[in-house]
Amino acid sequence: MSQNNALPMSKRDLLTLIGRTAGASAMYMAMSQLGQAHASPFQGPIKLDGDPKGASVLILGAGVAGLVAALELSRAGYKVQVLEYNNRVGGRSWTLRGGDTFTELGGATQKVEFAPGNYINPGPWRIPYNHGGIMHYCMELGVALEPFMQLNYNAYVHSTKAFGGKPQRYGPIQADFYGHVGELLVKAVNKDALNDDVTKEDKEILLAALRSWGALDKNYRYVKGPQSSERRGWDKYPGGGLTAEGIPSEPMDLSTVLKSGLWRAISTNLSTDHQNAIFQPVGGMDMVARGFEKQVGKYVRLNSKVVAIKQDDKGVTVDYQDTKTGEKLKASADWCFCTIPLSILSQIEINVGPEMTNAIHAVPYEAGLKVGLEFKRRFWEQDEFIYGGITNTDLPIAQISYPSTRYGDKGPGVLLGAYSFGAGAYEYTSLPPAERVARTVEWGSQIHPQYKDEYMNGVAVGWHRVPWTQGCFGRWSDDARKEHYKNLCQIDGRILLAGEHASYIPAWQEGGITSSLDAIGRLHQRVLAG
């Protein structure tokens, strides 16, 4: 909309309208768009009391959901076997290092050429402190953690349409935004200073900005609901399984907040020396899978492609193929615990009821792309004093994430040069891998001119081209979740499903873990009752 055609209104009118909204109920922030972490309902280790009397469970998939099930069920006395498509455990909890190779759908193969010690996590790359499930298993399994710099005021925000395309430091932009909005709201109190005009376009932009900044609901109100609870915390946090739906908490009223005086502490967390509490495993995200592997690796058969899942009143039989030799094999058990992504499971023969069948086919998977770039030196630190954190841009690369480890190294360094979702990721990944990397370097050089001189090599992973998942994560719609979610999580005969797709914490490892714990708890009760 052109500003010349926009209709003016007074700031007094605008602020009167905003005033009617009476506060903010937190906007439901999709992880995939805003990178915010969901808290978890995890309350501590699961207790599977009672004797399963030698019951056997066949687990399909050795991602974190399957590994948790293997660990806890084996501890409880179950006979456990795990079939895994890949030649490693971990699933999407995956790290690429120098010497690794990766072949995507279509046959394109990339060989990673990173220097020793450098890596990229194509999938999960951070662990919020309030994801109690994965934090628990990291601590139990001896997985060393280090801080991940989610927020760095010295990183950039960038738009090709603003400041002549020149990137701006995050800190000053945030400070100026808060400051100008604060001044405007002060003028709302001191009503004598509200005579300047505000265009219709400015009104629409400011309302949208206040809704995001203040976490307002669709009616610009601050009320009890999922939006406000995503900011202030839930009475019961969303999790996995049949009891996964969150229970929102009740916000305090404005008078209570003001009189408490606690608002004085807020500014402390806006200073340049305070950052968010979020972690990463030392050495790469696959260290989580390696921790599990030490405990349950003996139960896992790698290179095993599931082609059919069949059940009857007595048990479950799975047909699978050895991906190295081509040999066709079978595995049987009393129960089947399936963590295969729905994008793949929907292509596998499985005799479950129509409710679960419809649920399996109801969830599309999000496209996602990550590009890791290695440079001769860590110029972002040496030239620009950026130590960790994320730069956001409207370029197709969407994000640049700087490594939160090995600060000050003199040798080559790797950063995440692109992280995009949706239609942009589809378009990006339509290019051959080498061209994806080349475009990433070209676009990134608009923010960091050093890219072209310092670039060494790179790798690009488009998740919808990954053979064993064909998508990044399950993308539930509200209508699909309402109709199909509980049917997906129910035990169907002798088969039950788990994974991030069977949770209210999609895309995060915590969703897979809480889903797994819920499912094995219900399975255990069924076994004891049977």
The pLDDT of residue 495 is 98
Listed by start position, the domains of the chain span 3-40+170-274, 56-90+285-363+474-529, 96-153+365-465
Instruction: Look at phi and psi of residue 330 and say left if phi exceeds 0, alpha if psi is from -120 to 50, else beta.
Output: beta
For the chain, percent of residues with pLDDT exceeding 70: 88
Provide DSSP, 408-466: T-SS-EEEEEEEEEHHHHHHHHTS-HHHHHHHHHHHHTTT-TTHHHHEEEEEEEEGGG-
The pLDDT of residue 10 is 53
What SS3 state is found at 317?
strand
The pLDDT of residue 25 is 25
Q: What is the mean pLDDT of residues 43-61?
A: 95
Q: Which CATH class is domain 56-90+285-363+474-529?
A: alpha beta
The distance of Cα 354 from the centroid of its chain, to the nearest Å, equals 30
Q: Which two tokens stand for residue 443?
A: 């676009």
**pLDDT class of 402 with cuts at 50, 70, 90:** very high
The pLDDT of residue 283 is 98
Contact 290, 166 (CB under 8 A): no
Q: What digits encode the pLDDT tens for the residues 332-348?
A: 999 999 999 999 999 99
Per-residue pLDDT for 75 more than 70? yes
- Can you say whether the dihedral through the CA atoms of 100, 103, 109, 110 is positive or negative? negative
pTM of the full predicted structure? 0.88
Task: Give the mean pLDDT of the chain.
Answer: 89
The pLDDT of residue 213 is 76
The pLDDT of residue 210 is 78
Contact 350, 431 (CB under 8 A): no
Q: What are φ and ψ of residue 22, in 5° steps? A: 55, 45
- Can you say whether the dihedral through the CA atoms of 385, 391, 395, 397 is positive or negative? positive
Side chain identity at 136, as an amino acid letter? H
Contact 64, 72 (CB under 8 A): no
CA distance 165 to 303: 48
Report how far apart, in Å, the C-alpha atoms of 189 and of each of 146, 213, 450 are: 45, 20, 48
Contact 458, 464 (CB under 8 A): no
**pLDDT class of 20 with cuts at 50, 70, 90:** very low
Q: Which of 31-45, 132-146, 457-471 shows the lowest per-residue confidence on average (mean pLDDT)?
A: 31-45
In angstroms and rounded to an integer, the radius of gyration of the C-alpha atoms of the chain is: 25
CA distance 225 to 217: 9
**pLDDT class of 375 with cuts at 50, 70, 90:** very high
CA distance 57 to 81: 7
The pLDDT of residue 417 is 98
Which CATH code fits 3-40+170-274?
1.20.1440.240
- Residue 117 makes CB contacts below 8 A (sequence gap 6+) with 406
> In terms of C-beta density within 10 A (0-12 exposed, 13-18 middle, 19 or more buried), how is residue 339 classed?
buried
- DSSP 8-state code for residue 465: G
Residue identified by tokens 């890791």 is 372
Contact 336, 58 (CB under 8 A): yes
CA distance 515 to 238: 11
Nearest residue to 234 (alpha-carbon basis) of 433, 368, 390, 42: 42
Q: Which CATH class is domain 96-153+365-465?
A: alpha beta
